[in-house]
């Protein structure tokens, strides 16, 4: 199968990309976290600070909180998610969701801050500690791997968000490819939010010399690949995306500047089956050199001729962030229908504003996320708003009506399984993006950039819902052509990337305990 056919089927004909006789071998499932063996490590504080204050100078404690909030294991939970399940489902929960709770991403850090030896570390989520992979200062190397665009002298470190293919391929087969990008987006969204609360300046780099970074952190590209890099700085005036022409080096040459690493790690699975399409896709995404970007800022924003319904003015929420993170949960069948007022919907959408202008190397300074992604929603029992389908106009903070009616049954019919009961759900969001998956601009890498951005945007809705005492359940298990039709996306050249059900929920019957104090 060629890559275009793969991406088409992955999106619109998902049953065609997984073998019909595919059976998940749960007995041999991998761990949801990567464990390194025989390397020195730095223990982090197991207590999570309930309040995150801005720090002038980062400490090991602020770094510990940064990691706990964004990717740490926080709770253990035993539940029976679906009626008729034979045994309890044991999961290690985190403050962010992940498709199937499998958390295919891993975090690596480059640190050069007081109290920690300069070097490259892996965040060991299972033990909440930093495993040292390579000691030293790598400013020069990382600078070149990022295309000499980032002022590394001003950073205190950088986070590398990787995808470890097998961690969710073992369950979802090729479908895992879409989840891997989306999941990375949720992690990035949370890292940006927590970083902001701790006073870290952040920016997301989606473009870098992949093989050079893999070499730096010592990962095997047949297993794992870096999807994004987020430098961290305390300097508000730092230059993030320097566009001037530089003498740029190839990944191959850069790798020669450092000796290879061969660390041992453990994933538990005894048998790991091949995933050739993921490797082929990953290979096609790789950048070996930096080239000038001829199509800068060429995104086209959707325009609507219909008049829109203004939403009430909403102030930014100032929630108890710790409690919003702790409460966050995907309610599944626990949604209960209760009316939501228009102010709440307005606040929910308003909370996506910070993310719409996040710093990243696609936009540089131009902040065009709303041109790449849009938010569609079906509403039911929203006080002051007719039931129907709408698209959000972020510039006017208003809703453009597309169709009137109760769409709950149509939404249910488009799900691949009864993950939620849509009759109980007042708000159903769809994050939509360009059907070409940004290929014109970034080649095959565009697909994963688009999915990461959809994850970032979805996570802002997710957190806002939790702060408003609502539940939000992300869903990728839906029939894309069906939802595209329902939200009228085809005629605007967009397609559904992720769905989110939002509403009130009852406390569910599960046994849950905190893994932290
Ligand atoms: C990208 C993404 C896709 C998801 N897709 C589905 C889905 O199709 N069906 C479903 O029931 N849950 C889906 N989920 C929800 C996860 O199963 C859920 O986050 C995970 O089990 C952890 O539970 P928690 O969110 O309550 O912590 C998805 C989550 C993410 C982040």
At 295 the pLDDT is 54
Q: How is the chain split among helix, strand and coil, in percent rounded to 5?
A: 35, 25, 45
Residues 166-215 pLDDT 10s = 999 999 999 999 999 999 999 999 999 999 999 999 999 999 999 999 99
CB 103 within 8 A of CB 333: no
Indicate if the pLDDT at residue 36 is higher than 70. Answer: yes
Nearest CA to ligand 1 atom 9: 475
Print burial letters for 393-413: b (CB count within 10 Å at least 16), e (below 16).
bbeebbbbbbeeeebbebbbe
What is the C-alpha to C-alpha distance for residues 207 and 360, in angstroms, rounded to an integer? Answer: 10
Backbone angles phi, psi at 424, to 5 degrees: -95, 5
Query: Would you place residue 298 in the very low, low, confident or very high pLDDT band (cuts 50, 70, 90)?
Result: low
Q: Are strands 35-37 and 494-503 parallel, antiparallel or unpaired?
A: unpaired
CA 469-412-409 angle, 5° bins: 100
| Of 322, 437, 414, 329, the residue nearest 7 (C-alpha) | 437
Taking CA atoms only, the protein residue closest to ligand 1 atom 22 is 101
User: What HEC string does 349-374 produce?
Assistant: HHCCHHHHCCCECCCECCCCHHHHEE
Q: What is the pLDDT of residues 436-470, one digit of tens each?
A: 999 999 999 999 999 999 999 999 999 999 999 99
**pLDDT surpassing 60 at residue 297:** no
Tell how strand 41-43 and strand 398-404 pair up: unpaired
* Inter-residue contact 209 to 144 (CB < 8 Å): yes
Structural domains present in the chain: 3-285 (3.40.109.10), 309-513 (3.40.109.10)
- Say what the pLDDT of residue 89 is: 77
Mean pLDDT of 266-283: 97
- Which residues sit with their C-beta closer than 6 Å to ligand 1? 93, 97-101, 179, 182-183, 186, 329-330, 332, 419, 474-477, 498
Distance from Cα 102 to the centre of ligand 1, integer Å: 9
Kindly give the distance from the C-alpha atom of residue 183 to the centroid of ligand 1, in angstroms, as a whole number: 10
What percent of the chain lies above the pLDDT cut of 70? Answer: 96
Atom 21 of ligand 1, nearest CA residue: 101
How far is ligand 1, taken at its centre, from the CA of residue 96, in Å? 10
Rounded (10°) CA dihedral 473, 479, 483, 484: 130
pTM of the shown model = 0.97
Torsion sign (Cα): 13, 15, 16, 17: positive
How far is ligand 1, taken at its centre, from the CA of residue 45, in Å? 28
| DSSP conformation class of 505 | B
Distance between CA atoms of residues 341 and 352, nearest Å: 18
Question: pLDDT category, 231, cuts 50, 70, 90?
Answer: very high
Alpha-carbon gap, residue 512 to 79, rounded angstroms: 8
* Å from CA of 402 to ligand 1 middle: 28
396 φ/ψ angles, rounded to the nearest 5 degrees: -100, 0
φ and ψ of 213, to 5 deg:
-70, -40
Length of the chain: 517
């Amino acid at each position: 199968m060629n890559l275009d056919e793969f991406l088409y089927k992955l999106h619109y004909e998902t049953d065609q990309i997984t073998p019909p006789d595919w059976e998940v071998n749960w007995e041999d499932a991998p761990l949801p976290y990567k464990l390194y063996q025989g390397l020195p490590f730095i223990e982090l504080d197991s207590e999570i600070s309930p309040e995150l204050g801005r720090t002038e100078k980062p400490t090991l404690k602020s770094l510990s909180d940064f990691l706990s909030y964004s990717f740490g294991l926080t709770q253990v939970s035993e539940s029976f998610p679906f009626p008729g399940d034979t045994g309890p489902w044991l999961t290690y929960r985190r403050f962010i969701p992940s498709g199937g709770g499998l958390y295919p991403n891993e975090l690596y850090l480059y640190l050069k801050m007081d109290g920690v030896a300069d070097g490259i570390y892996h965040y060991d989520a299972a033990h909440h500690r930093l495993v040292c992979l390579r000691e030293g200062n790598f400013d020069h190397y990382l600078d070149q791997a990022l295309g000499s665009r980032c002022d590394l002298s001003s950073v205190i470190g950088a986070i590398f968000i990787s995808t470890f293919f097998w961690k969710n391929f073992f369950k979802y087969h090729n479908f895992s490819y879409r989840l891997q990008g989306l999941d990375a987006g949720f992690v990035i969204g949370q890292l940006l939010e927590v970083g902001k609360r701790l006073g870290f300046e952040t920016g997301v780099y989606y473009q870098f010399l992949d093989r050079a970074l893999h070499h730096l952190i010592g990962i095997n590209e047949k297993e794992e690949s870096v999807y994004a890099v987020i430098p961290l700085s305390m300097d508000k005036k730092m230059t993030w995306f320097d566009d001037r022409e530089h003498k740029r080096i190839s990944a191959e040459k850069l790798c020669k500047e450092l000796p290879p690493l061969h660390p041992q790690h453990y994933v538990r699975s005894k048998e790991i089956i091949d995933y050739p399409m993921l490797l082929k896709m990953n290979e096609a995404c790789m950048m070996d050199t930096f080239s000038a970007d001829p199509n800068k800022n060429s995104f086209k924003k959707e325009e609507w001729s219909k008049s829109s319904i203004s939403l009430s003015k909403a102030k930014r929420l100032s929630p108890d962030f710790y409690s919003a993170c702790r409460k966050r949960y995907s309610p599944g069948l626990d949604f209960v229908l209760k009316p939501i007022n228009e102010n709440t919907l307005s606040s929910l959408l308003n909370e996506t504003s910070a993310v719409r202008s996040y710093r990243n190397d696609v936009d540089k300074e131009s902040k065009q996320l709303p041109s790449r992604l849009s938010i569609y929603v079906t509403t039911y029992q929203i006080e002051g708003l007719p039931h129907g389908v709408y698209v959000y106009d972020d510039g006017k903070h208003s809703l453009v009506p597309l169709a009137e009616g109760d769409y709950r049954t149509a939404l249910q019919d488009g799900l691949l399984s009864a993950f939620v009961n849509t009759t109980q759900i007042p708000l159903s969001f769809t994050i939509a993006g360009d059907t070409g998956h940004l290929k014109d601009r970034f080649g095959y890498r565009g697909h994963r950039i688009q999915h990461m951005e959809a994850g970032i945007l979805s996570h802002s809705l997710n957190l806002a819902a939790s702060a408003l005492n609502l539940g939000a359940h992300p869903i990728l298990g839906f029939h894309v052509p069906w939802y595209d039709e329902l939200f009228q996306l085809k005629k605007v050249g967009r397609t559904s990337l992720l769905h989110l059900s939002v509403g009130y929920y009852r406390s569910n019957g599960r046994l849950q305990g905190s893994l932290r104090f």
